[in-house]
């Protein structure tokens, strides 16, 4: 290319670059049709999962709620506390609660201003009825998973190999070896291994090998290999053997106690460190999940009862506010009539004062009615029913007005022995104790006894009908033989016995493991002690609340009676012109407040009784709720009966120290009809009958109202 042409090319290229600018450009493609539907324009998108989970009919079928502007409902649903709790338990697959503002522990009253949304905000922290079964069937930490480590393992493999390879053979060795080696080989291996509770591993395996090749050194007719009449008599052979093996630890990893705590594969994990997941630890995990389930059921019952009594108070508070509204309306009408007539007592300031009183009580009624709707909605939530179905729930039970006294010592013993949280922590301590026992076993050196006994057989066939073992024909020992006849003849047996020893010098990791579990055990014991201290403090507060709320109920009852009498007296004096209007309005307002305060104290008294049972672990029994395991399948009962009969007919052997110690005291007692005296209450110390005085039952049953229930306590109003 000439210099002029090169110069023109450079100038043309520069102009092209300058005209294109610095912006990137898409390339040009032939056959482009513009369909870019496969193009993904974003890394992540907010999408809906492909599921077909239908919502509950109670959720999808909820109708328009009842409000102040839409106060229409079809009917009143009279619900007893027993029915409310039964419905909540029947619909309690997810054990609902009222949320963090009221966590079932006797704190402040339920906040009716906000709906419970704990399940939406933290669904994984809400217990369910499936949790115990999920823990039981955990493939890594469950009981069945731990038992599966001791199951017999059947293994089998079958391989077939074709051999065709050249060999570097020459000279005089060609008479013994082929320059092209041809052969077929098949191998069938089947075995079963079983681990025992003592840590031993027993095995039984069979290996059968078929070998066919062109090696001239195989059994032949005895002629020289180069002879034209040379012939290989047995080109293929079958070899079979049966092995009986065992491996028994003597120090580390030995014993029933260790293997039931740690399991047989404590070191067989990717981290190379002890992983304790034996049967006993798995069983404790199941017991911990049952304690959590019991606590969840108890919280569900507690929150349902709290919601029930709060709805009862909302109705009573509404009635008190309505009474104040009606009385203020009547007073306003009288003053307004006097103002229209221009009579004395009908001044405009008095009419405005009476009108303000009326609208004050009207706002109180509207707020109280809204609280009724909200409390009713919360009770519906705890019962697991639709938020609105055209019915309005109204409590049918009346709160008890009787004084209930609890024996302090008996209540304290119950709180420390029946609390689900304390029982759970005790299971954690037992778990740490078992882990420490297993960790101490790791300090021992590893010493295992190993052994193997093998029966061998070889023949021209694997099995034939001649029953001719190897060596029956002295000239041709393999001709006409079969491998199993040789095996059963017992001519060829091998055995091996030995010991394997392994010990780290210093045991640094093992000693650290023991110390680690000792510290964990000390920590859990310290936690239990402080939890028991906390339980005693909570019980003291619950007992104090029962006494305080009963006293407040009596006092507010007297206040209510006095306020009612004061309204009557002031009304008569006002009609006679002896008092002013503001005194009458003030008396009416205080009567409404006294009415509300009395029912507030009465409801709090019943709530405090429930919370005292909550603290001492008898709330479920107090509400007639008992936990029980469902029935086994019919086949399980059949197999269990057969095993029981087999044990009955067998010879008893005392295993002595090889058996693990007792780690469970049996099922808890749920029914304490005569606490402190009944022998069924094995967990509680019995009181001395000689010093036992008559006292109210520690777990009183709910009074069943007959006829018109008594709403008020019976104390005589105090003078003064």
Distance CA 209, CA 424 (A): 57
Please identify which residue in the block is written with the tokens 């409590």.
395
Kindly tell me the burial class for residue 560, based on how many C-beta atoms sit within 10 Å of its own C-beta (0-12, 13-18, 19 or more). Answer: buried
pLDDT at residue number 176: 67
For 508-553, how does the pLDDT look when each residue is reduced to its tens digit (9 = 90+)?
988 998 999 999 999 999 999 999 999 999 999 999 999 999 999 9
Q: Residue 685 pLDDT > 60, yes or no? A: no
Share of the chain above pLDDT 90, in %: 40
pLDDT at residue number 671: 65
What one-character-per-residue DSSP string does 570-603 give? HHHHHHTTSS-HHHHHHHHHHHHHHHHHHHHHHH
Asked if residue 208 lies in contact with residue 242, where contact means CB atoms within 8 angstroms, the answer is: no
Taking residues 110-118, what's their average pLDDT?
Answer: 66
Q: Residue 463 pLDDT > 60, yes or no? A: yes
Q: Is 34 left (phi over 0), alpha (psi -120 to 50) or beta?
A: left
Which carries the bigger pLDDT value, residue 178 or residue 497? 497
SS (H, E, C) 428-471: HHHHHHHHHHHHHHCCCCEEEEEEEEEEEEEECECCCCCCCCCC
Average pLDDT of every residue of the chain? 82
Angle formed by the axes of helices 279-341 and 581-615, nearest 10°: 170
For 582-639, how does the pLDDT look when each residue is reduced to its tens digit (9 = 90+)?
888 889 889 999 999 999 999 999 999 999 999 999 999 999 888 887 777 787 788 8
Q: Which of 602, 687, 608 is nearest to 407 (CA)?
A: 687
Three-state DSSP class for residue 378: helix
Distance CA 255, CA 266 (A): 14
Taking residues 137-162, what's their average pLDDT?
Answer: 90
Taking residues 674-694, what's their average pLDDT?
Answer: 39
Based on its alpha-carbon atoms, the radius of gyration of the chain, rounded to whole angstroms, reads 44
Residue 357 token pair: 């009183």
Distance CA 494, CA 491 (A): 10
Please identify which residue in the block is written with the tokens 């507030």.
600
Taking residues 80-91, what's their average pLDDT?
Answer: 93
Which carries the bigger pLDDT value, residue 705 or residue 350? 350
**Residue 171 pLDDT class (50, 70, 90 cuts):** low
Asked if residue 546 lies in contact with residue 605, where contact means CB atoms within 8 angstroms, the answer is: yes
Contacts of 371 (CB under 8 A, 6+ apart): 112, 314, 317, 318
| Domain residue spans of the chain | 151-195+200-252+446-502
pLDDT at residue number 4: 62
pLDDT at residue number 702: 41
H or E element in which residue 36 lies: none
pLDDT at residue number 501: 94
pLDDT at residue number 263: 84
């Amino acid at each position: 290319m000439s210099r002029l042409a090169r110069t023109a090319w450079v100038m043309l290229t520069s102009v092209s670059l300058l005209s294109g600018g610095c912006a990137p450009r898409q390339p040009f493609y032939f056959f482009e049709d513009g369909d870019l539907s496969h193009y993904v324009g974003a890394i992540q998108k907010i999408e809906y999962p492909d599921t077909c989970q239908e919502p509950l009919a109670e959720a999808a079928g909820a109708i328009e709620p009842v409000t102040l502007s839409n106060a229409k409902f079809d009917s009143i649903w009279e619900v007893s506390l027993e029915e409310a709790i039964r419905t909540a338990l029947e619909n309690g697959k997810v054990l609902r609660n009222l949320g963090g503002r009221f966590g079932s522990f006797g704190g402040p009253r339920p906040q009716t201003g906000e709906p419970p949304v704990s399940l939406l905000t933290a669904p994984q922290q809400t217990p369910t009825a499936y949790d115990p079964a999920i823990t039981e069937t955990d493939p890594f930490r469950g009981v069945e998973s731990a038992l599966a480590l001791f199951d017999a393992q059947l293994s089998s493999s079958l391989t077939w190999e074709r051999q065709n390879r050249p060999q570097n053979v020459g000279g005089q060795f060609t008479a013994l070896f082929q320059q092209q080696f041809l052969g077929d080989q098949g191998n069938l291996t089947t075995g079963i291994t079983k681990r025992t509770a003592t840590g031993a591993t027993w095995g039984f395996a069979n290996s059968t090998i078929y070998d066919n090749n062109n090696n001239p050194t195989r059994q032949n007719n005895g002629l020289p290999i180069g002879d034209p009449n040379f012939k290989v008599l047995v080109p293929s052979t079958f070899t079979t053997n049966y092995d009986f093996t065992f491996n028994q630890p003597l120090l580390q990893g030995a014993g029933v106690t260790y293997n039931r705590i740690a399991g047989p594969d404590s070191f067989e994990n990717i981290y190379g460190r002890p992983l304790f997941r034996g049967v006993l630890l798995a069983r404790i995990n199941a017991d911990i999940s049952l304690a959590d389930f019991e606590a969840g059921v108890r919280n569900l019952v507690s929150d349902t009862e709290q919601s029930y009594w709060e709805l009862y108070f909302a109705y009573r508070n509404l009635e008190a506010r309505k009474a104040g509204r009606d009385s203020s309306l009547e007073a306003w009408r009288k003053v307004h009539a006097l103002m229209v007539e221009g009579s004395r007592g009908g001044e405009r300031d008095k009419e405005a004062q009476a009108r303000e009183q009326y609208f004050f009580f009207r706002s109180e009624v509207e707020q109280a009615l809204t609280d009724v709707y909200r409390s009713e909605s919360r009770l519906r939530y705890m019962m697991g029913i639709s938020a609105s179905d055209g019915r309005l729930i109204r409590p049918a039970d009346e709160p008890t007005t009787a004084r209930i006294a609890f024996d302090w010592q008996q209540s304290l013993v119950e709180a420390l022995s029946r609390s689900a949280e304390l029982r759970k922590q005790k299971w954690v301590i037992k778990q740490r104790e078992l882990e420490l026992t297993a960790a101490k076993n790791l300090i021992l050196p590893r010493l295992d006894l190993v052994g193997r006994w093998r029966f061998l057989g070889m023949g021209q066939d694997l099995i034939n009908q001649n029953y001719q073992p190897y060596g029956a024909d002295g000239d041709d020992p393999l001709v006409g033989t079969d491998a199993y006849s040789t095996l059963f003849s017992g001519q060829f047996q091998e055995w091996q016995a030995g010991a394997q020893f392994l010990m780290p010098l210093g045991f640094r990791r093992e000693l650290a493991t023991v110390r680690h579990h000792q510290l964990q055990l000390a920590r859990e014991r310290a936690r239990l002690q402080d939890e028991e201290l906390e339980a005693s403090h909570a019980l003291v507060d619950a007992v104090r609340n029962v006494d305080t709320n009963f006293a407040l109920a009596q006092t507010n009852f007297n206040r209510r009676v006095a306020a009612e009498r004061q309204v009557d007296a002031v009304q008569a004096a006002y009609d006679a012109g002896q008092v002013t209007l503001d005194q009458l309005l003030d008396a009416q307002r205080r009567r409404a407040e006294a009415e509300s305060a009395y029912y507030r104290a009465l409801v709090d008294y019943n709530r405090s009784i429930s919370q005292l049972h909550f603290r001492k672990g008898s709330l479920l029994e107090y509400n007639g709720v008992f936990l029980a395991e469902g029935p086994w399948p019919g086949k399980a009962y059949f197999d269990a009966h057969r095993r029981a009969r087999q044990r009955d007919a067998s010879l008893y052997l005392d295993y002595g120290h090889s058996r693990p110690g007792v780690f469970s005291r049996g099922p808890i007692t749920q029914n304490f009809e005569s606490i402190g005296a009944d022998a069924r209450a094995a967990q509680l110390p019995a009181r001395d009958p000689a010093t036992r005085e008559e006292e109210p039952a520690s777990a009183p049953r709910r009074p069943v109202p007959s006829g018109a229930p008594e709403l008020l306590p019976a104390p005589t109003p105090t003078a003064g």
